[in-house]
Amino acid sequence: MSRLQGTFDGIRQRGTPGLVTYITAGDPSLAQSAEILKALDRAGADVLEVGVPFSDPLADGPVIQRATERALEAGTTLVRVLDMVRAVRADVRAPIVIFSYANPILRLGEEAFADRAREAGVDGVLALDLPMEEAGGFRRTLADRGIDTILLVSPTTSDERLRTAATLGSGFLYAISRLGVTGARDAVAPGAREMVERIRAVTDMPIALGFGISRPEHVRDVGQWADAAVVGSALVATIADAGDSPELPARVEEYVRWLKS
Burial of residue 208 (number of CB atoms within 10 Å: 0-12, 13-18, 19+): buried
CA-CA distance, 225 to 228, in Å (whole number)? 9
For residue 131, give every residue at least 6 positions away whose Cβ sits within 8 Å of its Cβ, in sequence order, or none.
Answer: none
Strands (E), 107-154: 124-127, 148-149, 151-153
For residue 116, give every residue at least 6 positions away whose Cβ sits within 8 Å of its Cβ, in sequence order, or none.
Answer: 79, 82, 108
Among candidate residues 27, 41, 46, 49, the one labeled active-site is 49
Among candidate residues 46, 60, 148, 253, the one labeled active-site is 60
Whether the CB-CB separation of 169 and 205 falls below 8 Å is answered with: yes
DSSP string, 161-183: HHHHHHHH--S-EEEESSSS---
Whether 49 is catalytic: yes
User: Cα 67 vs. chain centroid, distance in angstroms?
Assistant: 15
Whether 60 is catalytic: yes
The residues annotated with a catalytic role in the active site are: 49, 60
